[in-house]
Amino acid sequence: MAVYTDVSFEDLESFLAGYNIGVPLTFKGIAEGVENSNYFLSTAKGSFILTLYEKRVKIEDLPFFLGLLEHLAAGGVHCPLPVRNLAGAQLATLGGRPAALFTFLNGVSLRRPEAGHCAAVGAALAKMHEAGKGFALSRENALGHDGWSELVEACLPRADEIEPGLADLIRTAHAEITSNWPSGLPQGVIHADLFPDNVLFMNGAVSGLIDFYFACNDAFVYDLAVMLNAWCFEPDVAFNVTKSKSLIAGYVKQRPLSQEEREALPILTRGSALRFLLTRLYDWLNHDPHALVRPKDPRDYARRLRFHRKVRGVGEYGL
């Protein structure tokens, strides 16, 4: 979440006239994230999130994202629901951008999740995978391994400005990961970005999953690999195998992994580390100084990638 497009109070009032949610009482920008402009809104009828979709999000993908949230909620997943306007539409226009209102979820994201939180979010991920079955729409993973070459080429010329040797790491890892990428793994709708700041907790339990704008159809176990990178490294980038074991255990209680999925995990964790290294590096090198958002340091994912390249078996992840 972030703020790229300013919204005047007059434009907000005009926009809200198309909804049955009352008059605005509080309206403020949310500075986290990198994709869209987001605002917290409270009215006499409750609290909401207002999202303006920026150029990085394709308009043709919005029916997938919004429809998926309704589908998952119907399957018991705690996620934001699009608020339909008086015309019954999920989308409207505000500030020259497509815009949508969402229900607000209570809970807090955790800066330092513990092993118990990892188990809970692993189970929540598996439940989301199961709930996504039967969703009528599909979306290709735009940041899947087939699409990394363009990012690699865009980032390599300046990568060593960020860290000496980074270009060689990217070049070598990209070649070995893509040449060994597994096929034929069980697939369906995945979140693809379930970092701690996209999970809400209340009283130790998961109260909501948010920010589905990277959701797509891909291998379920790739989603688990993303989470191992996001949840199981300490601030000094040391891998916490206890958290990893807890996260995987929580997942497999809800959805057991096949032998093929288990064997694929090391290469998929490398791949997900490279994916986030590349996108963070690109955003770091091409930062908009006018945006109310801080790009994330790509070097954290370079360290993760180096760790995974030394892993020789799934036992090192606690399986």
CA–CA separation, 241 vs 311, rounded Å?
A: 12
pLDDT, mean of residues 150-165: 96
Measure Cα distances from 180 to 131, 166, 175, 213 in Å.
30, 21, 9, 27
Contact (CB, 8 A) for 298 and 154: no
Q: Is 300 exposed, middle or buried (0-12, 13-18, 19+ CB in 10 A)?
A: middle
Asked if residue 193 lies in contact with residue 214, where contact means CB atoms within 8 angstroms, the answer is yes
Predicted confidence at residue 19, as pLDDT, reads 96
**Mean pLDDT, range 95-101, rounded to an integer:** 92
The pLDDT value given to residue 2: 54
CA 284/CA 263 separation, integer angstroms: 33
Percent of the chain beyond pLDDT 70? 96
CA distance 36 to 51: 7
Whole-number pLDDT of residue 6: 81
What was the pLDDT predicted at 1?
43
- Report d(CA 104, CA 112) in Å as an integer: 23
User: Tens of pLDDT along 223-264?
Assistant: 999 999 999 999 999 999 999 999 999 999 999 999 999 999
Task: Tell whether the model's pLDDT for residue 55 goes beyond 80.
Answer: no
Mean pLDDT of all residues in 295-316: 95
CATH number of the structural domain 115-317? 3.90.1200.10
pLDDT of 220 strictly over 70: yes
Break the chain into its structural domains and give their ranges. Answer: 9-103, 115-317
Neighbours of 204 (CB within 10 A): 9
**What is the CATH code for 9-103?**
3.30.200.20
Please list the residues that pair with 27 across neighbouring strands: 41
Decide: 182 and 267 in contact? Cβ < 8 Å.
yes
Short-list 204, 209, 202, 192, CA closest to 124: 209
- Per-residue pLDDT at 32: 61
Asked if residue 58 has pLDDT above 50, the reply is yes
C-alpha span between 275 and 147 (Å, rounded): 10
Average pLDDT on 134-159 reads 96
Mean pLDDT of 109-131: 97
Average of pLDDT values for 95-119? 95
Task: State mean pLDDT over 40-54.
Answer: 93
**How would residue 3 be classed by pLDDT, with cut points 50, 70 and 90?**
low
Quote the radius of gyration of the chain (alpha carbons, Å): 20
Note the pLDDT of residue 288.
Answer: 72
- Does residue 75 surpass a pLDDT of 90? yes
Please tell me the distance from the alpha carbon of residue 57 to that of residue 65, in angstroms, as a whole number: 11
| Mean pLDDT of the 174-196 span | 97
User: Could you check whether 9-103 and 115-317 share the same CATH topology?
Assistant: no
Q: Please give the average per-residue pLDDT across 280-292, as a whole number.
A: 82
Q: How far apart are CA 81 and CA 105, in angstroms?
A: 9
Count the Cβ atoms, other than its own, within 10 Å of residue 218: 21
Residues 118 and 278: their CA atoms lie apart, in Å, by 25
Report the alpha-carbon distance of residue 140 to residue 28 in Å, rounded: 33
What confidence tier does 37 reach under pLDDT thresholds 50, 70, 90?
confident
Long-range contacts of 167-176 (CB under 8 A, 24+ apart): 169/302, 169/305, 169/306, 170/274, 170/277, 170/278, 170/281, 173/270, 173/274, 173/305, 173/309, 174/148, 174/149, 174/274, 176/270
Q: How many CB atoms lie within 10 A of CB 165?
A: 10
| DSSP single-letter state for residue 123 | H
Whole-angstrom Cα distance, residue 7 to residue 86? 21
Mean pLDDT, the chain, as a whole number?
A: 94
